[in-house]
Structure 1
Amino acid sequence: MPERAPVRLGEYGSAPLECDQLTPRDVERLHALQARGHLTLTRERAGWRLKADATVGVLVLDRVRVTIAPKFAIPGDQLMSWLAYALGTPVPVTARRWATGPDGYADLVAAALLEECERLLREGLRRDYVHRRSVEPVLRGRLDVAAQATHRYGRLDQLHVRTFDREADIEDNCVLGSALRAALALTASSDLARALRSTADGFPQVPAPAAALRSLDRTHYTRLNARYRPAHTWARLLLRGGGVTDLLADLGTPADGLLLAMPALWEAVVRRLVAESFGPHGGHLLSVGSSVGITVRGDLGNASAFRPDCLLSLPGLPGHGTAQRTLLPVDAKYKRYDRHRVSAADLHQLLTYGSGYAPVEAPAAVIVHPQPGRHDRRVLQVRGPKGLLGTLHVIGVDTRTTPERATEWIGSALR
């Protein structure tokens, strides 16, 4: 692996780069990432300036290795817990060994994949019937008559056969081998790289990363391969360069990297927090599709829609009977609303949600934002000349605690 100069910056931070530190290919890849909102590259008199947006992770370029550390809301030692919570997968125990390093995030995800793959090797890789065509000196399986007649012209010294044997060379295993090798380019730890290489040798011949991703996208889990789900989750994260199905709508990065968009992560966290907080009390999330969205028609262009991140259906209010349920819109905001007042744009957005979904007599909506250090809750009341327009609950979730404790707190705060 060639030596690359380390460049470290924090989330929303920036760092200068000299002209010769970026190749033309690097500039092209960074501009592609800029178009997707991951970072910003600007030209300066003495070189370049690279600025991160709400993105954390690692980016391996031709001459530099860029590490973007979480700085805004989720501490580095807690990022893995919240990421695993959003993905609905357990946090691997041995991955914590790499938690304190300067390149902790990329190494943590690689270590998580490593632990799951080692577990699969200990339990024994799944085998399934694989169809093969081969030339053998003796008959195995079925004779391929057409191939024998057209290629051997009646000779029987070599037989074209079709076999159907149980092997470990199946997609469930091949995609993990591909992900283990992709992780080698991202990790900065020699011990971790050695372990990844050793474990990858235990998996069958691997496809290209693009083919592995296609295989993962069409994977269906049954009782036969359910134990592969955690390993496939981390493999998908690595192979997409940070994009996760149902977490990010990113097709991957054009450079070797593992970049995670924090607003998308926070939306996934809030969605699960709300669902688990109110599930035991009769609440459940509704799908905010076109049939229940707030739409705007009659303007130029196509109709636009307003859809909250979460729409919570709650048991009926006292005095309204048990059949009538209450809708509560919840929006995830990856902003420092523990330090700043709620912006006018967010106030207008949440008031629209409240008037569109909540009861007419008590329009309400909820903002959930990250707040390192402690939980917090405040209630905003918006009034007009004719009275109350809506109530906005601003909930700050302590990201230094565990997701399980945050679930308990957010439920008690909103109930």
Structure 2
Amino acid sequence: MPDHRPEIRLGEYESTELGTDQLTTADVTRLHALQARRCLSLTTSRTGWRLKAEATVGVLALDRVRLVVEPKFAIRGEQLMTWLAYALHTPIPTMARRWVTRPDGYADLVAAALLEECEKLLREGLRRDYVRRQSLEPVLRGRLDVAAQATRRYGQLDQLHVRTFDREADIWDNRVLGVALQAALSLTTDSRLARALHGITDAFPHSGTPAAALRALQRTQYTRLNARYRPAHTWAHLLLRGGGVTDLLTDQGTTAGGLLLAMPRLWEAVVRRLAAEAAVPHGGHPVPGHGETGITVRGDLGNASTFRPDLLLRFPRASPDDPVLLPVDAKYKRYDRHGVGAGDIHQLLTYSVGYTPAEATRAVIIHPQPGGNARRTLRIGAPQRGLGVIHVLGIDPRARPEQASAWMRAALASLL
């Protein structure tokens, strides 16, 4: 449905001034909850409030205004959705050909992705399962509830308390989609998309609350009977959590009526899949960067701390007892415009010393680089000896995932 609230637009890490009359008390509470999870910051100013965006993009629908936070890399909404689907191992939706969106059209695109999957399920036929119900009927159906009949009807037989066990579509697999479609209606601003969502919502049972639907999604186990529901459930989960897919969004449920995506978490998920797939042709595979293979700090005040790379790749060598380990770290930073920071160099040097041989210490940074893939090599040395090598790989976020994967395979081959 059309949203008539004033729209305020800003980019990642940008700030804006809001008047005291633009935020309600409920809005301030929601924003402070998001601030606690480092999605944004809200401070008082002379004229009211100063809101600063962090690396979280999307739509925040408050009571009186609608905030839109755009990615700093100016990625079109359709391309952002492509990478999101890639990170989630979910089929890339085709709604980009059906819905005209603005460059930031993230919320509408997620809603359209859910719509597309729900339409597909309807064409194939919704899954049905046996549901136990108790009802009052004029004729006997199923099994007579003798205790209820005796205590509630006092032996009268004009109405019968019965227990039935019928196959119905009103099961949680379908119910969570109905709840998510209703949530999508409240977020979309495209009139055609809103009409399509409204037309399909009644085809799904939608009893229950978003919180109950989320609990059902967390309990869902996929088998051959409901495996085709996985893509639709993925988009439903995204909407109901306000963007909160596991390992993607730092927000743990406080959505403020919006749809937000933490870009660093998304980039980490993209890099993990890209690097893992690129390692397979070379005989490599990911291994845990914690536990027995973790780098720990002990003996300091408090608990022991741990260094964990985003991804640790293991490659075979001539001796199976002496594999090659390669630490890979995802950095959602503009390393196409400025040099690698000292903190990141220290971090990657620690990984290289901890996981690679002393004679060939190395690590990899992967960052987004709009305009084309690129690579450069940092050599860190001391007066006595070299300390290590850091390979900085830039992946074009405007390219297709399969193109980025092919380039990544070639880049890894040159490092081994």
How far off is 1:268 after superposition?
Answer: 0.2
Aligned residue type for 2:35:
Q
Output the aligned Cα RMSD: 1.6
Map 1:317-336 → 2, pairs under 5 A:
320-336=318-334
**Residue 378 of structure 1: which of 364, 376, 379 is its match?**
376
TM-score normalised by the chain length of structure 2:
0.95
Aligned residue type for 1:157:
D
**Counterpart of 2:273?**
272
Map 1:229-240 → 2, pairs under 5 A:
229-240=230-241
Query: Measured at CA, do residues 164 and 192 of structure 1 come closer, stay the same or move farther in structure 2, by a change above 3 Å?
Result: same
**Counterpart of 1:215?**
216
Query: Measured at CA, do residues 229 and 203 of structure 1 come closer, stay the same or move farther in structure 2, by a change above 3 Å?
Result: same
**Counterpart of 1:182?**
183
How far off is 1:298 after superposition?
Answer: 1.0
**Counterpart of 1:292?**
293
Distance in 2, Cα, partners of 1:336 & 1:91: 27
**Counterpart of 2:159?**
158
Q: Which runs of structure 1 show a deviation greater than 4 angstroms over 4 or more consecutive aligned residues?
A: none
How far off is 1:80 after superposition?
Answer: 1.0
Matched, 1:393 2:394: no
Query: Measured at CA, do residues 394 and 7 of structure 1 come closer, stay the same or move farther in structure 2, by a change above 3 Å?
Result: same
Matched, 1:346 2:357: no
Query: Measured at CA, do residues 99 and 329 of structure 1 come closer, stay the same or move farther in structure 2, by a change above 3 Å?
Result: farther
**Corresponding pairs, count:** 412
Distance in 2, Cα, partners of 1:28 & 1:246: 24
Distance in 2, Cα, partners of 1:212 & 1:10: 32
**Counterpart of 2:24?**
23
What's the secondary structure of 1:356's corresponding residue? helix
- The answer on whether the counterparts of 2:107 and 2:259 sit within 8 Å (CA) in structure 1 is yes
Aligned residue type for 1:334:
Y
**Counterpart of 1:72?**
73
Query: Measured at CA, do residues 6 and 102 of structure 1 come closer, stay the same or move farther in structure 2, by a change above 3 Å?
Result: farther
How far off is 1:75 after superposition?
Answer: 4.0
Task: Give the gaps of 5 or more residues in structure 1.
Answer: none
Map 1:188-199 → 2, pairs under 5 A:
188-199=189-200
What's the secondary structure of 2:290's corresponding residue? coil
Matched, 1:228 2:229: yes
Matched, 1:45 2:43: no
**Counterpart of 1:360?**
358
What's the secondary structure of 2:51's corresponding residue? strand
How far off is 1:256 after superposition?
Answer: 0.3
How far off is 1:102 after superposition?
Answer: 5.6
Query: Measured at CA, do residues 289 and 150 of structure 1 come closer, stay the same or move farther in structure 2, by a change above 3 Å?
Result: farther
**Counterpart of 1:34?**
35
Task: Give the gaps of 5 or more residues in structure 2.
Answer: none
How far off is 1:27 after superposition?
Answer: 1.2
Q: Deviations over 1:343-377 (max 9, x none)?
A: 11111111111111112321111000000001111
How far off is 1:154 after superposition?
Answer: 1.9
**Counterpart of 2:129?**
128
